[in-house]
């Protein structure tokens, strides 16, 4: 293992660094505004943390549900038009989906699936991260709001049924609650409790995960939308009250924004760095076949991160049943964790992104910067094997330090068991080199190396951006000029200029070959 870590440090330190998340206006609250008399005249209003309002888009046929995706595009469900529109930060509009039947509430699960309540088809529609559309459940009487819990269960409230219906990821429906007074908005707090705006009762109700109900807040004029900001403040839009109220974690109430026209659903523009910065997924084996993710902290100030190792909560078959995570720096082990609730439960919950299964692992750590290299090693308890995921999230975007570089090493197999590295480009795009290394690892003491790797780069829509089998075949001179030419002609590399967005690099063996491979992403000029 020590030799593997040394190899990782060597490879990581040889690289330049990826820019990570950097966006403006994070923390603004977006609220949809309905026109009761002229549905064509709906709007989306953006409100800064100090309460300054501006019209983000409009007119748009009455917008209901509103949610930011992982690339900080705003999705807006337009009920009368049966469309879901997608807006870039500059308000440029594209159509994400059309031909729906009254899209109302929307919510993402932690895997990036989008769920939409379709009021006129009495169903819940699902969009996978690659855009694939399917029906999760039918026969739900006029669904309104949508909420998703940490286990991926979907909840929806009915317009007239008084029900909150629970739908498991496999589509099984049960009644979660009865006698609910029109639930347009369903969200979850950091402890996993469900908060529901009951419009006709003027209250916000709380349900424990076991389903016990209590009144959390009362005295609202048709409460409609609910949203938490990153500091745990709760915002409640009052549809008839024409305002948005704010309640701090200590329970202090104030009016956040007033004189709004029929405010409905809300979303908060994500803070920079809140999506996954670095992620890698692959089959986790034993000994030299464990999953190793490498990253670097640039800048000068220490960076607070959460590293997650996921197995049972990865929505695939054949996952690692019980992962264990080690975080190393150049001098050795910093921290290790088997099951996340055991060591740092409160700190991990406070990040807002605890793992979905108690057997998953997580470590919150503040890491020195100045180009320091780190490795996250994932293996199975009792030498268990299966598909695992390691992720690193930036928890402190205020300091100058950035997470940079990504390199992931592990056993490349067939089917779902390929090696996948994920990364995000921001700051006006980037020119990157993606390398898939195999045979060179033989020189570093890895016996079971992937002898003929290929690499394919996908964008967030699942489209192929570029692909390469052997690096000399297509871009030999461009790759050589970067100084990052692989050491073996059968290794793959591509150099490409990317717009901002999320990307995944998938490494597999040519002709179904298997073995230990390495994927690396470098930012170059």
Cα–Cα dist 62/79, whole Å: 6
Residues near Ca ion, by CB under 5 A:
322, 338-339, 359, 452, 469-470, 490, 510
Q: Which is nearer to Ca ion, 126 or 435 (CB)?
A: 435
Cα–Cα dist 59/56, whole Å: 10
Assigned token pair, 519: 């994927």
Cα–Cα dist 172/169, whole Å: 7
* Helices of type H across 266-383: 340-343, 345-350
Length of the chain in terms of residues written = 525
Q: Which is nearer to Ca ion, 280 or 339 (CB)?
A: 339
We find the least distance from the C-beta atom of residue 282 to Ca ion, in angstroms, to be 17
We find the least distance from the C-beta atom of residue 190 to Ca ion, in angstroms, to be 21
Q: Which is nearer to Ca ion, 276 or 309 (CB)?
A: 309
Question: Containing H/E element for 477?
Answer: helix 476-481
We find the least distance from the C-beta atom of residue 208 to Ca ion, in angstroms, to be 25
We find the least distance from the C-beta atom of residue 454 to Ca ion, in angstroms, to be 5
Cα–Cα dist 279/281, whole Å: 7
Q: Which is nearer to Ca ion, 69 or 360 (CB)?
A: 360
We find the least distance from the C-beta atom of residue 476 to Ca ion, in angstroms, to be 14
CB 159 within 8 A of CB 142: yes
Q: Which is nearer to Ca ion, 270 or 311 (CB)?
A: 311
We find the least distance from the C-beta atom of residue 323 to Ca ion, in angstroms, to be 5
Provide CB contacts within 8 A for 244, sequence distance 6+.
29, 31, 47, 235, 236, 237, 238, 255, 256, 257, 258, 260, 263, 266
Q: Which is nearer to Ca ion, 97 or 327 (CB)?
A: 327
We find the least distance from the C-beta atom of residue 162 to Ca ion, in angstroms, to be 41
Coil, helix or strand at residue 181: coil
User: Residue 132: which of 97, 87, 93, 172 has the closest Cα?
Assistant: 97
Q: Which is nearer to Ca ion, 463 or 489 (CB)?
A: 489
We find the least distance from the C-beta atom of residue 132 to Ca ion, in angstroms, to be 29
Assigned token pair, 10: 């060597």
We find the least distance from the C-beta atom of residue 308 to Ca ion, in angstroms, to be 11
We find the least distance from the C-beta atom of residue 302 to Ca ion, in angstroms, to be 27
Q: Which is nearer to Ca ion, 237 or 361 (CB)?
A: 361
DSSP 232: S
We find the least distance from the C-beta atom of residue 338 to Ca ion, in angstroms, to be 4
Provide CB contacts within 8 A for 354, sequence distance 6+.
150, 340, 348, 362
Using DSSP bridges, classify how beta strands 143-148 and 133-137 pair: parallel, antiparallel or unpaired: unpaired
Cα–Cα dist 300/425, whole Å: 21
Q: Which is nearer to Ca ion, 428 or 511 (CB)?
A: 511
Q: Which is nearer to Ca ion, 168 or 514 (CB)?
A: 514
Cα–Cα dist 285/383, whole Å: 8
Cα–Cα dist 16/227, whole Å: 39
Q: Which is nearer to Ca ion, 227 or 418 (CB)?
A: 418
Coil, helix or strand at residue 206: strand
Exposure string over 42-54, b if 16+ CB within 10 A, otherwise e:
bbbbbbeeeeeee
What Cα–Cα distance (Å) separates residue 234 from each residue in 189, 352, 465, 474? 9, 14, 40, 53
Q: Which is nearer to Ca ion, 461 or 480 (CB)?
A: 480
Cα–Cα dist 278/268, whole Å: 22
We find the least distance from the C-beta atom of residue 452 to Ca ion, in angstroms, to be 4
């Amino acid at each position: 293992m020590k030799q593997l870590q040394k190899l990782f440090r060597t490879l990581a330190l040889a690289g330049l660094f990826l820019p990570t998340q950097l966006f403006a206006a994070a923390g603004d609250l977006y609220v949809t505004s309905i026109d009761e008399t002229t549905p064509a005249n709906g709007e989306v209003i953006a409100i800064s943390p100090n309460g300054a309002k501006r019209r983000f888009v409009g007119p748009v046929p009455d917008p209901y549900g509103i949610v930011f995706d992982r690339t900080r595009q705003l999705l807006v469900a337009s009920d009368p038009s049966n469309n879901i529109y997608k807006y870039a930060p500059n308000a440029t509009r594209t159509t994400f989906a059309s031909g729906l039947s009254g899209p109302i509430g929307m919510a993402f699960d932690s895997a990036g699936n989008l769920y939409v309540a379709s009021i006129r088809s009495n169903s819940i529609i699902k969009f996978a991260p690659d855009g694939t559309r399917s029906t999760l459940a039918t026969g739900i009487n006029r669904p309104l709001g949508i909420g998703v819990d940490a286990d991926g269960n979907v909840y929806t409230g009915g317009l007239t049924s008084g029900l909150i219906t629970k739908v498991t990821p496999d589509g099984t429906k049960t009644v979660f609650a009865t006698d609910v007074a029109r639930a347009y908005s369903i969200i979850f707090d950091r402890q996993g409790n469900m908060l529901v705006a009951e419009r006709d009762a003027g209250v916000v109700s709380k349900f424990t995960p076991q389903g016990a109900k209590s009144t959390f807040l009362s005295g609202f004029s048709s409460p409609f939308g609910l949203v938490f900001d990153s500091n745990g403040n709760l915002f409640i839009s009052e549809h008839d009250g024409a305002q948005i109220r704010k309640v701090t974690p200590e329970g202090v109430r104030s009016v956040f924004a007033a004189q709004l026209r029929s405010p409905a659903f809300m979303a908060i523009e994500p803070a920079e760095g809140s999506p996954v910065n670095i992620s890698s997924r692959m089959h986790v084996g034993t000994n030299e076949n464990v999953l190793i993710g490498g990253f670097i902290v640039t800048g000068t100030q220490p960076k607070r991160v959460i590293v997650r190792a996921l197995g049972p909560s990865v929505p695939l078959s054949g996952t690692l049943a019980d992962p264990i995570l080690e975080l190393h720096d150049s001098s050795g082990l910093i921290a290790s964790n088997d099951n996340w609730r055991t060591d740092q439960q409160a700190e991990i919950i406070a990040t807002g992104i605890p793992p979905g299964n108690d057997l998953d692992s997580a470590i919150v750590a503040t890491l020195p910067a100045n180009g320091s290299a780190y490795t996250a090693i994932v293996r199975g308890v009792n030498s268990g094997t299966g598909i695992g995921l390691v992720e690193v999230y930036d928890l402190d975007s205020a300091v100058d330090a950035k997470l940079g570089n990504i390199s992931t090493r592990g056993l490349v197999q067939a089917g779902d068991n390929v090696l996948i590295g994920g990364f995000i480009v921001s700051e006006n795009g980037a020119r990157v080199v993606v390398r898939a290394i195999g045979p060179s690892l033989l020189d570093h003491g890895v016996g079971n190396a992937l002898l003929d790797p290929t690499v394919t780069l996908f964008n967030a829509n699942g489209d192929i951006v570029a692909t390469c089998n052997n690096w000399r075949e297509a871009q030999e001179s461009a790759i050589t000029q970067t100084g990052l030419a692989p050491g073996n002609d059968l290794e793959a590399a591509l150099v490409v200029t990317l717009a901002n967005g999320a990307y995944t690099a998938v490494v597999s063996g040519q002709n179904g070959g298997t073995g230990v491979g390495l994927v690396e992403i470098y930012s170059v000029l």
